Structure 1
Amino acid sequence: MTSASEAPEPDIAVVPHDPAWSGRYDAERATILGATGALFVAIEHVGSTAVPGLLAKPVIDIMAAVERLAEASAALDRLGDLGYRLAPTGMRNRLFLRKRAPGDACAFHLHIVEHATWHERNERLLRDHLRAYPEDARAYGALKQRLAREHARDGLAYTKGKTAIIQSIVDRARDALGLPRVDVWED
């Protein structure tokens, strides 16, 4: 499967948490696993839609782990059949795929990483921290809402505007686990 040009991303909209997101993740997880067999050794719902009560863009982020990233290449055609398109991000040691169904307000992002890094993935640490600290989730949600208004058509500015708060939260989570601090803005 190759990267495909798609319709432009819709304006950024941050909306109240939808309890249906969890069910959408469960259904998509089952679809992915049905298409890829035993390829993934771990798969989880990450991102803001995985945090009950958190304001979020209606994008369900899924993180899946393989033993070696090269193994995932064999499944790209099968994931393409499900509507996933490889999106270049410049991030090392990760495959990033997007899926958007026509007329569906909700999209899916699939992050494929190596299992050796699973326990220290910033996306998982951020999700777990926001679930455990509702005051941080509220502050993060308020920032996202403001940034969505200010940068509705500029996804990069929206994302970069969140970097400082994400870095602060991830640093605290990594400190608590005895993990070294890393820059959350992956190159």
Structure 2
Amino acid sequence: MAIDIADHDPSWPDQGARAGAELIDALPGLFLNVEHVGSTSVPRLVAKPVIDLMASVAALDDVTADREAVLERLGYRSQETGMPGRLFYYRDTDAGRRSHHLHIVTADTWETRNERLFRDHLRAHPEVATEYGELKRRAAVEEEDGLAYTKRKTELIQHVVDRERAARGLPLVPVWEE
């Protein structure tokens, strides 16, 4: 299966903001923060056309069955990823194409989330975003499945995240949560 990489769409930031606002409105008081993360949140960066959101909650148990039912009404489906300390949901378009990812994490880990650190670094360093975009294009052509594509990007992501964590005095951790 080919990996779909698209040129940056200037509507992606608005799509991310609308999706975040929709979640906050639908579940008042649950989310402490909601941010657009991932490649679609970085200006001029090529990306799989999927809006990645990260939201924080006081505790993962706050996402009760009733609240999960609201997420389902919004089109979000739960998926077990094996990543500790995180709930993951995806939303597809009517045509069955993946359109959104929602990562729910606890507020006590918010400031040290690798996805946020990586996004912020790419926004602040366009030359690294360009390098990352070129890597993504090569990997999309050369890899046949999503896991291989993702793993192919790990070395660059780990280098950037390590740099950001070291600059903040944070311990270094693998970007692959298992």
Equivalent residue number for residue 101 of structure 1: 93
| CA–CA separation in structure 2 for the residues paired with 1:103 and 1:24 | 18
Is 1:160 aligned to residue 143 of structure 2? Answer: no
Gaps of 5+ in 1: 1-9
Normalising by structure 1, report the TM-score. 0.91
User: Match for 2:125 among 122, 133, 137?
Assistant: 133
User: Match for 2:136 among 140, 144, 155?
Assistant: 144
Q: Secondary structure at the match of 2:80?
A: coil
Is 1:56 aligned to residue 86 of structure 2? Answer: no
Normalising by structure 2, report the TM-score. 0.95
| CA–CA separation in structure 1 for the residues paired with 2:11 and 2:174 | 32
Q: Evaluate the alpha carbon distance shift between residue 163 and residue 41 of structure 1 in structure 2; reply closer, same or farther with a 3 A threshold.
A: same
Equivalent residue number for residue 14 of structure 1: 5
Paired amino acid for 2:130: R
| CA–CA separation in structure 2 for the residues paired with 1:44 and 1:110 | 10
Equivalent residue number for residue 78 of structure 2: 86
The percent of aligned pairs where both chains have the same amino acid is 51
| CA–CA separation in structure 2 for the residues paired with 1:73 and 1:180 | 32
User: Match for 1:120 among 92, 106, 112?
Assistant: 112
State how many pairs are aligned.
Answer: 177
Paired amino acid for 2:122: L
1:46 and 1:61 in contact (8 A); partners too: yes
| CA–CA separation in structure 1 for the residues paired with 2:147 and 2:160 | 20
Equivalent residue number for residue 185 of structure 1: 176
1:11 shift after superposition = 3.6
RMSD: 1.3
Q: Secondary structure at the match of 1:96?
A: strand
Gaps of 5+ in 2: none
1:13 and 1:148 in contact (8 A); partners too: yes
2:90 and 2:98 in contact (8 A); partners too: no
